[in-house]
Structure 1
Amino acid sequence: MAMNKHFHMSKGEGELSYSRNSSIQETVWLMNKQLLESVLESLFKVSYGVDKICNIVDLGCGVGPVPLALVSLVSNVIKGKLKELECDESCDEVGFKCQIYMNDLPSNDFSKLFKDLMSLEGLQTKYDGNPLCFFMGAPGSYYDRLFHHNTLDFVHANYALHWLSQVPAGLWNEHGVPINKGNVYMSETSSKAVGNAYWTQFENDFTKFLKNRSEEVVPNGCMLITLLGRPNDSDFFTWRTVELKIINQSLIALISEGLVKEEKLDNFNFPAYHPSMDQLESVVKKEGSFLIEEKRIVIHDSASEIKNKHERAQVLAKSTYALSESLISHHFGDQILQPFFDKLVYFAFQHLDLGYLAQNHSLTILLRKI
């Protein structure tokens, strides 16, 4: 399945929408806020009299609190710079303006996104009658070229690049028979070929991403990328996120209830890959367009602030549903969405009740174009 045709986070503002169930992504973003703020401040260190337009893109922006928080932070950094320079609307000229591109697949809920952006307080600050920040939608896959040569000053991507451009082709043999039966991702029962297929797809996708951004980012421009990763390379098959675990368990349970056919599950594979930091570094070094200036791994237990296991299971199930609904609906049909969600809640609670953690490993790298 090609992701650009069917994939999107759950739309709208309902109880199971992504906009209301992306608190885990927001938590990760907040952990990197200080680093991001430092990068943004360095972008706006320009002199008066220079008609500087700073071009920023949020790749895989989605909807919800994260893109709104990014835009608010950019706006606040600009206002802080103006205050530092003692600029107001009486100044003859301001030395910089900012253009922010919001990128995601065309199926993203851009209507919701821009409605939320326009409602943000403090974004109406103007200079000489014009906003300091201009916003544009940039639909398309971030694995393709999206912008003109040497136009982007800063690229931001939060919890986006672990999504692959497609389901790895190597998950079927030469006769079209699935080789990862009963699994939606790599597991202890998967063959080495399954792991190789996932790694090859990620390596190709991330290399393509870096090559295209190297064309678009200005010399010395930078990218701050955070994605869902794995602890290390030694647990290649044994490590799975709690989200992938309960998705797999839920679909198997629906087979036993006759709501899903076994062959449908055998042909369903989750189009994501969670690399280790060593794997990320190896691709960056091999592609050769960027240097890693900073790297960090943050381990966090999802929704750990909620002590009631039933309530926490609901949060984990809703966030899992919000990111997987379009994939499940496309492959299995809309009729299983409600029982699928019910199973997610059940298995999320079982996971927590057995004393297991709901840990995620977030990898962040700050890249600068050579």
Structure 2
Amino acid sequence: MQRKIISVATSIIEEAVVESLQKNFPESIGIADLGCSSGPNTLMVISEIIDTVYASTNKLGSPFPEFRISLNDLPGNDFNNIFISLREFYKKLKMEKNIGPEGCFISGVPGSFYGRLFPKKSLHFVHSSSSLHWLSQVPPTLDSSFLQPLNKGKIYISKNSMGSIFDAYLLQFKRDFSLFLKSRSEEMVDDGSMVLSFMGRVSADPACEESCMQWELLAQALMSMALEGFVEEEKIDSFNAPYYAPSAMEVTSVIEEEGSFTITRLEAFEIDWDGGAPSNNNVHKNPNTIEKYYISRGQQYSKTIRAVVESLLECHFGTEIMDELFRRYGGLVDDYFLKTRPKSIDLVVSLTKKGLIVEPTM
């Protein structure tokens, strides 16, 4: 699913890079990928950006610039795994474009992107995919350590949520996203480009299915376990996901209010929950035998979600319930697939850093 999300934004990324190069073609280009994670998708966007710059230099007859590439994620990310994969990345780069490590400097930058990460005016292009829907923290007013739980039986916004819960999530998103934009504005050169892709919604209703149903089904799985004594209901009441899927209007409002960037494009894409994978992708081979086994679409999707949220849930509910939780979750997703073809909304926004306006002198 994350690969699909990256692929639908590819043309927008290429357009932003080309437009940025037309305004400023430096000898050394600073690029940051924020929330890069660790896995087969990590270097996918970086490769696309290098390909676009390579094609642009050939078209313009310009010398190929050097790259300063920064891969960012939280300190717990497996940066070692990324660094191990760089040998093959450099080998391919050398073979296809005759670019060696001396022309492409890649580093890991651990830390939260809700704050400064890089020196002033050091970046020409910034990218982030599937990250900005994660908040810096649970909205403080929902922290049940000092208040009675306001969101009983739920772990995110739902149809039954009070208006104060909607307001708390929106306020936290506005604070976080505004800080993100302010931090990047200080780190980027004038007319630099930024492409951000994250879960959102087209509906004005924050409790619409397109943004909430994954969490609703997970809450149902947890509550079914509470009824059977596997988990305390109070544990569920005291958990709220540090996540928010904003509307396009909310995203636009924060960008305009913060004031450092101009919106070049803002588009919403529908993404199938399973990324549109063909049904035969659910047939797997046993690594120890020649036998094949089938995983339902719901269980396959459950594995995808587990890879994303398990560490978050383990901290609160413990490790011992995870297998059963996601087994039940997969069953609920299977039932949901029988009723509809569920889709998420991926918002992609392309931004340009505003240049300094110089007032004419008299």
Letter in 1 for 2:29: C
1:360 aligns to 2:337 (yes or no): no
| In structure 2, C-alpha distance between the alignment counterparts of 1:40 and 1:118, rounded to whole Å | 25
Using the TM superposition, give the Cα deviation of residue 224 of structure 1 relative to its aligned residue in structure 2, in angstroms: 0.3
Matches within 5 A, 1:32-71: 32-44=9-21, 52-71=27-46
Structure 1 residue 238: Cα displacement: 3.7
- Give SS of 2:328's match: helix
* Residue of 110, 118, 124 corresponding to 2:94: 124
Deviations 1:62-111 (A, max 9, x none): 12333221122123234434544678xxxxxx451111100000011212
Map 1:276-291; keep pairs closer than 5 Å: 276-291=247-262
- Pair 1:349 & 2:334 matched: yes
Counterpart CA distance in 2 for 1:98 and 1:143 is 24
Q: Amino acid of the residue matched to residue 56 of structure 1? A: I
Partner residue, 1:197: 168
**1:342 Cα deviation from its structure 2 partner:** 1.1
Residues 104-253 of structure 1: pairs in structure 2 closer than 5 A = 104-120=73-89, 122-124=92-94, 130-172=101-143, 175-233=146-204, 235-239=205-209, 240-253=211-224
Q: What amino acid is aligned across from residue 256 of structure 2 in structure 1?
A: K
In structure 2, C-alpha distance between the alignment counterparts of 1:302 and 1:243, rounded to whole Å: 9
Write out per-residue CA displacement over residues 253-281 of structure 1, whole angstroms, 9 at most, x where no aligned residue. 22122111111100100110000000000
RMSD of the TM alignment (CA)? 2.4
Q: How far 1:313 moved relative to its partner?
A: 1.3
Conserved 8 A contact 1:250-1:347: yes
Counterpart of 1:58 in structure 2: which amino acid? D
Report the equivalent of 1:100: 69
Cα contact 2:69–2:106 (8 A) shared by 1: yes
Residue 111 of structure 1 aligns to a residue in which SS? helix
* 2:182 and 2:258 in contact (8 A); partners too: yes
Secondary structure of the residue that 1:335 maps to in structure 2?
Answer: coil
Q: Kindly report which structure 2 residues correspond to 1:22-41, keeping only aligned pairs within 5 A, or say none.
A: 24-41=1-18
CA distance in 2, matches of 1:314, 1:182: 23
Q: Does 1:264 align with 2:241?
A: no
Q: What code does the residue aligned with 2:316 have?
A: H
Report the counterpart of residue 359 of structure 2 in structure 1. Answer: none
CA change 1:200–1:117 in 2 (3 A) is same
CA deviations on 1:214-268 (whole Å, 9 max, x unpaired) are 11111111110111001221x2224344421222122112212211111110010
Q: How far off its partner does 1:55 sit?
A: 0.4
Identity of aligned residues (%): 34
Contiguous gaps of at least 5 residues in structure 2: 283-294, 355-362
Aligned length: 337
Match of 1:329 among 287, 305, 314: 314
Deviations 1:19-66 (A, max 9, x none): xxxxx111011111112122223445599xx87110000011112333
Are the structure 2 counterparts of residues 72 and 193 from structure 1 closer, same or farther at C-alpha, using a change threshold of 3 Å?
A: same
Which AA in structure 1 matches 2:301?
L
Q: Tell me the equivalent position of 1:6.
A: none
TM-score under structure 2 normalisation?
0.86
- CA offset at residue 346 of structure 1? 1.2
Output one character per residue of 1:288-338: Cα deviation in whole Å (capped at 9) or x when no partner.
111101111111222234347953212210111011111111001111111
Find the residue that maps to 2:265 and give its secondary structure.
strand
In the TM superposition, what is the alpha-carbon distance from 1:175 to its structure 2 partner? Answer: 5.0
Contact 1:242 1:359 in 2 (8 A): no
Please state how far the C-alpha of 1:145 moved relative to its aligned partner: 0.5
In the alignment, structure 1 segments of 5+ residues that lack a partner are: 1-23, 88-93
Q: Is the 8 A contact 2:71 2:108 kept in 1?
A: yes
Taking structure 1 as the reference length, what is the TM-score of the superposition? Answer: 0.84
Q: Which amino acid aligns with 2:7?
A: L
**2:357 aligns to what?**
none
Q: Aligned AA for 1:237?
A: A
Q: Distance in 1 between matches of 2:242 and 2:226?
A: 21
The answer to whether the 8 Å contact 2:16/2:194 transfers is no
